[in-house]
């Protein structure tokens, strides 16, 4: 079977959630599958990842176009023969444009990470417009629809099942996981990392793109309350600037804690391991997530976590962390203080988190995806 893949986001240097999902899932797929042939489509901004160069069953196709013109060029290319036959299947990892425009003769699998475009319409205007224009058509044409959590499956069925016949029969959940790079470091390793990265002795950690959906303003407000009792504590927020990020910086100024909050921007995965290990607590107060990989990363690094009780978070976190109402600033502050002062609670959350994180693996998710490929081939 010849499987074409949109590999653009997976090959970006500064990957975010969707890119990391595609990267780790496909790396695990190729480690298990030497039978199928793969055509990986990239653009001129992509670099070939070293980890994928060892696989002999990948043909790389660089399409030097941008925006909609890239998708149209890939569609034309998919009609041509590569070797003995055209592609049997197109795997859309991040965009619905090609599945929406493709003829039904081309089998497609799409991944629906979340319904942010429909639930948070103030999100990136261009992305929202494109997703609203294409997702419905992509759902109708796709032979399989992958959701990364049961919560996303529920959201998808609620929104589209009435207008898309047999949608429920198409959906398969292929959950995300944390990379094996995330692990508990030794105390000397943490000390060296703290020194080399100029980290404070005690800090709370938040990770995510700087945008309203990540709810960093509530985290900042809660931290301001906690900081009154723990004046030596700092807050480090890691993530690139997204839409409406300015309100996050404004909240820091409003709370008058500019010297207590540190923004580190985008941080590479290898360094992120050190931040999780060095943090007192990882806080993930997001209003909505299709899955939410950072809590699993923190769990694997033995960092106790607090997360919101919204959307997919209870499904992912289970009993591995404290869950709070994302609108409850005082409740979040009290949860943070409880871990800071209660060593037994901290140890319990670390142990439960390690156990919970082991329930998700890229190897298991890759096996599910390979079975989907085989079911389509039959």
Q: How large a percentage of the chain has pLDDT more than 90?
A: 84
Q: Answer yes or no: is pLDDT of 124 > 80.
A: no
Return the pLDDT at 85: 53
Return the pLDDT at 104: 85
Given pLDDT bands bounded at 50, 70 and 90, which one contains residue 83?
very low
236 and 321 both lie in a single domain: yes
- Domain count across the chain: 2
111 and 240 both lie in a single domain: no
- Whether 306 and 284 have beta carbons less than 8 Å apart is answered as yes
Mean pLDDT, residues 147-160 taken together: 94
Mean pLDDT, residues 93-97 taken together: 95
Does residue 17 or residue 346 have the better pLDDT? 346
* Among 120, 76, 72, 61, residue whose Cα is nearest residue 95: 72
Given pLDDT bands bounded at 50, 70 and 90, which one contains residue 166?
confident
Return the pLDDT at 177: 96
326 and 365 both lie in a single domain: no
305 and 195 both lie in a single domain: yes
Whether 264 maps to a domain, the answer reads yes
3-state secondary structure the chain: CEEEEECCHHHCCCCCHHHHHHHHHHHHHHHHCCCCEEEEEECCCCCCCHHHCCCCCEEEEECCCCHHHHHHHHHHHHHCCECCECCCEEEECCCCHHHHHCCCCCEEEEEECCCHHHHCCCCCHHHHHHHHHHHHHHHHHCCEEEECCHHHHHHHHHHHCCCCCCHHHHEEECCCCCCCCCCCCCHHHHHHHHHHCCCCCCEEEEECCECHHHCHHHHHHHHHHHHHHCCCCEEEEECCECCCCHHHHHHHHHHCCCCCEEEEECCCHHHHHHHHHHCCEEEECCCCCCCCCHHHHHHHCCCCEEEECCCCHHHHHCCCCEEECCCCHHHHHHHHHHHHHCHHHHHHHHHHHHHHHCCCCHHHHHHHHHHHHHHHHC
Return the pLDDT at 378: 60
Whether 278 maps to a domain, the answer reads yes
Q: Provide the mean pLDDT of the chain.
A: 93
Mean pLDDT, residues 204-230 taken together: 97
Return the pLDDT at 123: 66
Given pLDDT bands bounded at 50, 70 and 90, which one contains residue 63?
very high
Least confident of 2-6, 54-58, 160-164: 160-164
Whether 182 maps to a domain, the answer reads no
Whether 17 maps to a domain, the answer reads yes
139 and 244 both lie in a single domain: no
Whether 117 maps to a domain, the answer reads yes
Q: How far is Cα 319 from Cα 279, in angstroms, rounded to an integer?
A: 20
162 and 31 both lie in a single domain: yes
Q: Answer yes or no: is pLDDT of 183 > 90.
A: yes
238 and 326 both lie in a single domain: yes
145 and 199 both lie in a single domain: no
68 and 47 both lie in a single domain: yes
The pTM score is 0.91
Return the pLDDT at 16: 86
- Whether 127 and 162 have beta carbons less than 8 Å apart is answered as no
Return the pLDDT at 196: 97
285 and 260 both lie in a single domain: yes
* CATH number for the domain that contains residue 70: 3.40.50.2000
Q: What domain range is 36 assigned to?
A: 2-177+361-377
Q: Answer yes or no: is pLDDT of 283 > 70.
A: yes
Q: Answer yes or no: is pLDDT of 29 > 80.
A: yes
140 and 262 both lie in a single domain: no
Q: How far is Cα 296 from Cα 362, in angstroms, rounded to an integer?
A: 12
Return the pLDDT at 150: 94
What are 226-236's pLDDT values in tens digits?
999 999 999 99
311 and 341 both lie in a single domain: yes
Q: Answer yes or no: is pLDDT of 82 > 60.
A: no
């Amino acid at each position: 079977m010849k499987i074409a893949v949109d590999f653009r986001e997976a090959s970006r240097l500064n990957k975010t959630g969707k890119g990391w999902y595609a990267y780790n899932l496909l790396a695990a797929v190729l480690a298990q599958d030497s039978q199928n042939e793969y055509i990986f489509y990239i653009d001129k901004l992509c670099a070939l990842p070293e980890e994928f160069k060892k696989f002999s069953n990948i043909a790389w196709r660089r399409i030097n176009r941008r925006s909609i013109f890239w998708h149209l060029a890939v569609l034309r290319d998919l009609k041509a023969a590569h070797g003995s036959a055209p592609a049997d299947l197109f795997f859309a990892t991040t965009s619905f444009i090609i599945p929406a425009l493709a003829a039904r003769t081309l089998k497609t699998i799409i991944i629906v990470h979340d319904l942010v475009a429909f639930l948070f319409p103030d999100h990136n205007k261009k992305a929202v417009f494109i997703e609203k224009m294409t997702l419905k058509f992509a759902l109708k044409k796709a032979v399989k629809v992958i959701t990364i959590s049961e919560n996303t499956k529920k959201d998808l069925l609620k929104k589209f099942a009435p207008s898309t016949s047999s949608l429920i029969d198409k959906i398969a959940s292929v959950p995300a996981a944390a990379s094996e790079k995330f692990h508990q470091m030794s105390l000397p390793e943490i000390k060296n990392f703290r020194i080399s990265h100029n980290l404070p002795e005690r800090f709370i950690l938040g990770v995510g793109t700087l945008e309203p959906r990540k709810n960093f303003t509530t985290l900042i407000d809660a931290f301001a309350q906690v900081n009154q009792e723990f004046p030596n504590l700092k807050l480090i927020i890691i993530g690139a600037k997204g839409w409406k990020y300015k309100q996050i910086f404004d909240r820091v100024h409003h709370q008058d804690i500019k010297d207590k909050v540190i923004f580190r921007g985008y941080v590479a995965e290898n360094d992120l391991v050190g931040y999780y290990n060095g943090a007192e607590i990882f806080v993930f107060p997001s209003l909505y997530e299709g899955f939410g990989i950072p809590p699993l990363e923190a769990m694997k690094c033995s960092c106790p976590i607090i997360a919101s009780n919204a959307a997919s978070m209870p499904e992912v976190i289970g009993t591995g962390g404290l869950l709070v109402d994302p609108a409850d600033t005082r409740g979040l502050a009290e949860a943070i203080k409880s871990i800071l002062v209660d060593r037994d609670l901290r140890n319990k959350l670390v142990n439960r988190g390690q156990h919970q994180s082991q329930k998700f693996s890229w190897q298991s998710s890759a096996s599910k995806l390979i079975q989907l490929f085989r079911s389509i081939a039959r």
